[in-house]
Structures are given as structure tokens and as C-alpha cells.
Structure 1
Amino acid sequence: MKVDKIGRLAAGALAVALVTASCASERSGTDGTAAGGSDKAASSSTFGTLPSPCGPGDAKGATDQGVTDDAITIGFGDDRGFPSAPGLSKEMGDAVAAMIEWCNEQGGINGRKIKGNQYDAAYMQSAKVVQEACKKDFFLVGQGFAMDESAEQHRVACKLPTVAGFTIGPNAAMGPMKYEAVPYPVDLLNIGGLRIAERLFPDFKEKTDILLSTSPAVSTGTSKVEGAMKKMGAEPLKCGVRLNDKGESSYMPFAEKIKECGAKYLWSNDSPDPGQFSLLETFDRAGLEPKYVFEATWYSQQVAQWNKSGAGDGLHVGMIFQPLENADKVPAVKQYKELVEARKGKVALLGMQATSSFLLWAQSAQKCGSDLTRQCVINELSKVKEWTGGGLHAPTNPGDNKPSNCSLMVKLEKTEFKQIHPKETGEFECGDEFVVETDPKTWGTELNDDRISTKFLTDDVIKPESS
């Protein structure tokens, strides 16, 4: 596989991690899903609906690696230096840097200021940067390294806990000492986008097909969703469209296949790039008007600006996160945007994901007081069974590494995304049917009875202790 294709495949993997979660308007929980609220940004004493975990205090003691009387050192970062995709996941590092500043302005955590070591894994260097973090950081927080699988053995070996922004590799997603604000486990899949499409389009189950790819990474995600479709009674039409990962000389033959097949709805696990745009433009020129139910990486300004012609007006995206367009209704989204924009950072969906993971870590660390140890923070993280990042996204279950059972859907209209379901802006729909178990053949790893990957597991990893 050419290196210049890897960045796009990484983005495809990220799409799956973002896409499907969904949760109903009637649920709020202690951390809360904001469905409405002030048009003013929340004060520093809160983040959306979440009381700020940051503030002054008298915590003391060098209680663990990276912890001193007056400071807590954490690692964070992204792949922004990847030459083939400059700025890859830059929004994640920008978000954590902004949150560290926000927290320190309030006094840090129990009076200890946060020091952040920012890493650029540049896609191919994740093992190297994690080995660096192993030597000095208390936790890794809010990071997103697309090649985290290659770093996982080092993280586990040095017993470096993480509250990741996202995980990609199966062993990283199911690893010990790992928590995420928005879990994407290998054994459970949120299909909220598909379930909402089923509600919106009565013939969705009979008239849907999957756009396939020659990419192994994309195909793995596709096989999971195909299995989920079959569980919900939808049998893909198998029109025979398989896109070459290196691009196509012409996309018109694919338009003819879709037309002959009669597919009215198309689903894809691939990511937006010039080839994908050409495909949709070709469908438009051929007079096809399918509705697209695509992954959440298609929710981006890149896609919105491309769609000036309207070729993508049939694009529907199921999301666990509040759209950025809902900032006037959701205080947490507005606050995230303001904090990052104040530092001239990049605002995007993965940035909100990193923000939520930072808040999850900070809340757990705050509860440990002076006795700030990795063990204590892990104990606190394991207790968090419902989490929304103050309203940035639908409720998830970080403590048990389980996804949300909620979703909302946005639709692209020219250069703007708008929430179309539920109709009330800022709300989600939830249901147990929004999460399905996946085929173990698709997991890519072996799990023990605690749903932990066994590949790098050692007897001395830090496990939650019951209080």
C-alpha cells in the first residue's frame, strides 16, 4: 500500500469511530445531554452542563510519575506532521491545548497546574512518541494516533494509562488501562445512523446497497456494518460497485450499475476525497438521485464547501456528537468553539471528542485530591457509566467501554449541514436497537472475560479496585 494512501485510510477508520452513536432527548444524566439552553457561553465554573473539575486547592505530594506538589504532566497529540496528509487530526491537539489553558486559568486540578507534553506521531511514529511518554507522563489524554496499534505494546508494558481521544487498532480499542469519552469497542457497534434511516425512509431495508472498496481497512469496517444490516433485516442489493482505492479513470460504469440495480440508498465506510467526490458528481450527471447514508467523517467543512454544485445534497450523516451548527442551542459546543478559536486552533468533530476525553480525565483526577495516583484515577474512571462531556455528545459508558445507544442525523443542503432527526435541534434519539453485537471474526483480537485484549496483557497492569 502506498504511503500517500494511508492517511485517507486512517480517516476512514476515524469515520467509524465517530459515526453512529445516538441518544434520546429524554435522557440527561448527571453529566447531561444539553437539549437547548442559553445562547451565551458557559462560565469557567462549568463546561456546558458539567461542573468544572478545575480550580484552586492545596493538593501536595509527588504521588506518581508526572505528579509533583504543584504540577501534573500529561501527554497529548495527533498526527499533524504526516507528510501525505498535513494537519491530520490537528484539531485534537488544538483542543487539549485549549483545555489545559482553560483549566490552568482556574487554578489547575486541586491547585496543581497541568503541564502538557504535546506529541506529533506523524502517523508512522506513534510507537516512538508513546515510548517517550512512558518516561515522563502521568497519563496520555485526548490523543489521537491513527497507528496506535503499533504503540500499544509499549503503552501496556510501561503501564501508561490513557483517556484517549480515539483508538483505532483493535488491541488499542480493547486495551487495559484505557478509557475513552466515546468508546468504539470491537464487539459492539452503534448503528444509529442506519436505524434513523430506517425510520425516515420506509423502503430503506429493501433498496439499499453498500459502496465497496479495494482497501482492506475500509473493507473491515464495511463487513461489520453489513452484518449489522442483516441483523436489522436489510439485505444489501449487491450492485457490484467496488471502488479502487487508488482511484478510477471513470466513474460512469458505477453509475450505470446503480441505475440498473435500482438502489435508492447508498452506504459507505470510505472517507471523503477527490475520488469519492467524483463518484457523487458522476451520479449527479447521470441523473441518479440516491440518498447517501455515510459515515461521520463526511460531516466536515471540506465536504460542505465541495457541495456548492449540490451533487451531495442527498447526503445524510448519523452522529453521536452535537453538530457545530447547534452551538446556539448547546452551550458546550459554543464553549468548545470559543476556547479553540481564541487560540486560533482548528475546530472540528474530533476536537470535541478530545475535549470530552480531557474533561473525563480531569473530573476523575480531581476526585483523587492530594492522593493523585494512576490507580486512583483508574478507579474513578471505571465508575463513570454515563458521560456526555457536558453536552458535547450523546451519553456513552466509558467505565464499561461501551458505545452510546443514541444518534441524531444531519443532512447536507448545498454548503450547510442541518439536523433533520430528531426535529428538535440539539436532541438525540435513543434505543436499545441502536447497538448490536458484532461477529467475533471481525474483532481482530482475542478478548478475555472482562472484554480486555489479551495480546499485550500482563499480570501487573493497573486494574480498577472496588472501593
Structure 2
Amino acid sequence: MKASKFGRLTAGVLSLMLLGTACAGQRSGTDGSDNGSETKASDTMFGTLASPCGAGDAKGATAQGVTDGEIVIGYGDDRGFAQAPGLNKEMGDAVKAMIDWCNEQGGINGRKLKGNQYDAAYMQSVSVMQKACKQDFMLVGQGFAMDEAAEQYRVACGLPTVAGFTVGPNATMGPNKFEAVPYPVDYYNAANLMLAQEKFPEMKKGLDAINSTSPAVTTGTKKIESVLKGMNIDFKKCGVQLNVKGDASFVPFAEKFKKCDVTSLWTSKTPDAAAMGMLEALDRVGVKVPFLGESTWYSDYVAKWNTSGQGDNIHLGMIFQPFENAEKVPAVKKYLEIAKDANSKTGMMGMQSTSSFLLWATAAKACGSDLTRECVTTELSKVHEWTGGGLHAATDPGANMPAKCALMIKLTGSKFEQVAPAELGEFSCPDNAVVEIDEALWGTKLNKDRIATTFLKS
């Protein structure tokens, strides 16, 4: 059900900073009529989005992976990683299911889709990218934890992507890279923190972070610390730092937080055994304060762990609609229906890949017969409002900018539910939610177009 990661995280392996009612922005030529192709409008909907799939008479071998009758795309995840089998499996499952869903409607302007599914198995992203460079039109909806290692090969072969998520800073800010849900290195959507501040005003006088010696967690915590300073909130700095290699006991850390008189806690950690042990220790010493985290914590693992209520203070900021809102949000219901029909694993990363597939397909449809990489990336660059039909808060894929909204869910027992805003399915969109991030935390250099320069030819 909810085995998920957040934006640029891979569950239990990398923890970094990361997760709608408007439709996708209007773009010219979306019916294909300006591109020499007759298309048949589809009456199939994905939430608020009219399906980009359907019949047509698109013709021409216009690019690598494109023929009169076929479009070849690459997709995949890290499902074969031995230390975490099934990692991100919902991403590949989602794209495969969407390919079938689209082909049942006639493909894209009549061209059927063929998918090359890849398993980067965490450490094999380079070999995957080298294969994709030789045979795919584009990469769509994929999520590879080690995408940074493969990025130089993607840039060198000119392979565009509409990724499910990206992790490395160069991959996140690379040329011809789009995402339905961008998490750029230079801007951050602070709507989740603003919503938490509104709900828990005690944050201002007693918030601290559960940090770790993990470089990824440290980087994520520093980014959040930078954002909080702009909100006039400082971490108390109680001195707690978990060891990435493990700790004998978490009670001393919990006692330190108690002595420090924290009123709320934040973590950029993913919900692993250490994080669960920390929560159990906090409960044991009587520290019962709001625990704030990102949507990596929205998972069956966490829900099933919370049998004794030690996680009842968990509150998570999200830009995706939770599955519990499916009856209120048609797009979430549609995603779950398609996944069920395909016998696919579901999860928030699956929804993220689904949104990226729909974004790519919408741009591809607009190109009609003239389906080239240049045309698709041009169409993608025009999209400045995107919700995946209502799967998530509006983002700006064309400008690689994040959402400006968030909602909050709470765990009670084994059940998650939206607690803010009060109206289910609605988001909070505070003014000035998108804030700039200190350049020292970017992890790469950007040019004037906000493109990473590391692998660009001079």
C-alpha cells in the first residue's frame, strides 16, 4: 500500500530533504493539429486531466526509438538491490501499468508505447544509462538512487528525461531533465514547515532535530535549518546525533532531549530501525511532543510498527494526496484502480512516476507526427502548472520549481489521516512558501538558466 519515499529519497538508503486542484497549464498544439497528424480525442479522464492517450495517424521515424507505429521509452527503479529488495518497485510498476493503460486507448496519436524496464539495483545506474542511451527515445518516470553517477552519460548522449525523482544535485539540475514534482537544489517549498508552525506554535521556542552522522541526513538537516532561520525559528541544538552505524541505546539521547526541554522534534531521517528506536526511547522517558517529518514516514512500515501508539505524535508534511483521501480525490482513486488492475505495488513514488508519465505523454501528444526530443522538451518547458490530474499540489515542471502548497497528515495507531487543512483534499498555500536555499548547500554550480554546469561542454 504505502511503501513510499519522498521526492528525492530512496527508502532506507538515502535520506535527504524531501514530498492541487488545478489542471495542467494550457499549451499550443495539444490536439496535434499543428503537427501534421489527425488525432482522436479521448473521453478517458485521469482525475481532472483528460487522457493524453488515444488513436491517431502519426507517422514517421522521427527520432531514436520512434517509428510509424511505436515509441520506445525507458523506465525503472532499484528493485534488485540486495540489501533492500524491491526498492522503489512501485515506480517501475506504475510506469508499466500506465504504458498498458495508454496502449489500451490507442497509444500516443496512434503510436503504441514500448517500455524498456531497467533495474539499476542501486549500484548499476551507469550500465543502465549506457543501455538507455543506445535505444530509448526518452527516460520516463524512473527513479535511481545513484543517478548522479549516471548523469554524465545521460548528458553526453543527449537523452532527455521526465524522471519520477532525482537524487544527485547534478541529476536534479541537469539539462533536458524534467520532473512532475521538482525538488531543485536552490529553492525549497516551506509550506509544510509553515503549516507545522501554525499548528504547533511551540515550535518557535523548543524545536530541535534528530540528526545523524549520515552525510545525507546532515545535509538535509542543514537545509531545513536554513529555511527555519528565515522563519525566525532556530534549532535548540541539544546535541543529539545518532550514529549511522548504530547505537547501543537510544535512552541517553531521549534523556538529553528531555533535559533540553524540547517542545517539538524534526528529523530528515528515513523511518529505519534507529528512528523507531529513538521514538520508543522518547516515549519511555516521557517526551511526548509533536514529531515532524517528511513523507518518507508515510508508509505501511511505520503504520504497522505503531501498535502501541508510540508514534501517535508523528505529523508529516506532504504535497501528495494520501491514499486515505481517494474517495475525495478522483486522481488518487484512478491511480489505485490502475495499479490494482495491473497487480502492481502501490506507493507514493508510484504516484510520482505516474504523474511524470502523464506529463511526458501530454507533451508527446502535442508533438503529433513530429515526435522529436526537441519538440517534447520544448512542450515540457511550457508547462508551468501541473498536478497530475490532482495527485499532488501544483508544481512548475517547465521551470524546475517546487510546489507552493502542502497538507499535513497524522498517524494514530495504524491509521494516517489528514489533519490540516481541515477540509480533506485541500492544501495550505501560504504566501512566500518557496524560499531560496543558500548556495553553499546546492552541491553543484548552476549557470544563469539554473542548469548544472558539471557535465556541460564548454
TM-score, with length taken from structure 2: 0.93
Structure 1 partner of 2:227:
228
Structure 2 partner of 1:198:
197
The DSSP-based 3-state class of the residue aligned with 1:151 is helix
Distance 2:391 2:312 in 1: 26
CA gap 1:221/1:254 in 2 versus in 1, 3 angstroms: same
Mapped pair 1:79 → 2:49 = no
Structure 2 partner of 1:37:
none
Distance 2:447 2:124 in 1: 29
Distance 1:125 1:409 in 2: 36
Q: What pairs with 1:170-189 in structure 2 (closer than 5 Å)?
A: 170-189=169-188
Mapped pair 1:427 → 2:426 = yes
The DSSP-based 3-state class of the residue aligned with 1:195 is helix
Question: What displacement does 1:15 show?
Answer: 5.7
Structure 2 partner of 1:144:
143
Structure 2 partner of 1:40:
none
Bigger drift between 191-200 and 45-54 goes to 191-200
Structure 2 partner of 1:293:
292
Question: What displacement does 1:432 show?
Answer: 3.3
CA gap 1:451/1:316 in 2 versus in 1, 3 angstroms: same
Task: Let me know the Cα RMSD of the aligned residues.
Answer: 1.6
Q: What pairs with 1:379-398 in structure 2 (closer than 5 Å)?
A: 379-398=378-397
Distance 2:89 2:188 in 1: 26
Question: What displacement does 1:60 show?
Answer: 0.5
| Matched AA of 2:423 | E
Deviation per CA, 1:373-411: give whole Å up to 9, x if none.
000001100000000000000000000000001000000
| Matched AA of 1:447 | L
Mapped pair 1:207 → 2:201 = no
**Quick check: 1:127–1:150 contact (8 Å CA) kept in 2?**
yes
Deviation per CA, 1:334-366: give whole Å up to 9, x if none.
110111122221111000000000000000000
Distance 1:18 1:213 in 2: 16
Distance 1:121 1:14 in 2: 15
Mapped pair 1:112 → 2:111 = yes
Mapped pair 1:89 → 2:83 = no
| Matched AA of 2:11 | A
Distance 1:289 1:139 in 2: 49
**Quick check: 1:70–1:112 contact (8 Å CA) kept in 2?**
yes
Question: What displacement does 1:18 show?
Answer: 4.6
Distance 1:322 1:382 in 2: 25
Structure 1 partner of 2:30:
none
CA gap 1:44/1:344 in 2 versus in 1, 3 angstroms: farther
| Matched AA of 1:289 | K
Question: What displacement does 1:436 show?
Answer: 1.1
**Quick check: 2:71–2:137 contact (8 Å CA) kept in 1?**
yes
Question: What displacement does 1:84 show?
Answer: 0.5
Mapped pair 1:28 → 2:36 = no
Question: What displacement does 1:17 show?
Answer: 6.0
> How many percent of aligned residue pairs carry the same amino acid?
61
Question: What displacement does 1:71 show?
Answer: 0.3
**Quick check: 2:23–2:390 contact (8 Å CA) kept in 1?**
no
Q: What pairs with 1:352-367 in structure 2 (closer than 5 Å)?
A: 352-367=351-366
Structure 2 partner of 1:465:
none
Question: What displacement does 1:274 show?
Answer: 1.2
| Matched AA of 1:89 | N
The number of residue pairs the alignment matches comes to: 436
Question: What displacement does 1:122 show?
Answer: 0.1
The DSSP-based 3-state class of the residue aligned with 1:75 is strand
CA gap 1:10/1:86 in 2 versus in 1, 3 angstroms: same
**Quick check: 2:72–2:116 contact (8 Å CA) kept in 1?**
yes
Unaligned runs of 5+ in 2: 1-7, 27-41
Question: What displacement does 1:190 show?
Answer: 1.1
Distance 1:17 1:341 in 2: 30
Structure 2 partner of 1:336:
335
CA gap 1:148/1:392 in 2 versus in 1, 3 angstroms: same
**Quick check: 2:24–2:387 contact (8 Å CA) kept in 1?**
no
CA gap 1:30/1:183 in 2 versus in 1, 3 angstroms: closer
Question: What displacement does 1:218 show?
Answer: 1.1
CA gap 1:403/1:234 in 2 versus in 1, 3 angstroms: same
Deviation per CA, 1:188-219: give whole Å up to 9, x if none.
01122211111001221111001110001111
Structure 2 partner of 1:161:
160
TM-score, with length taken from structure 1: 0.91
Distance 1:144 1:366 in 2: 23
**Quick check: 1:280–1:312 contact (8 Å CA) kept in 2?**
yes
The DSSP-based 3-state class of the residue aligned with 2:406 is strand
Deviation per CA, 1:124-171: give whole Å up to 9, x if none.
000110110000000000000000000000000000000000000000
Question: What displacement does 1:11 show?
Answer: 2.8
Structure 1 partner of 2:11:
11
**Quick check: 1:183–1:401 contact (8 Å CA) kept in 2?**
yes
Distance 1:215 1:97 in 2: 34
Distance 2:444 2:436 in 1: 15
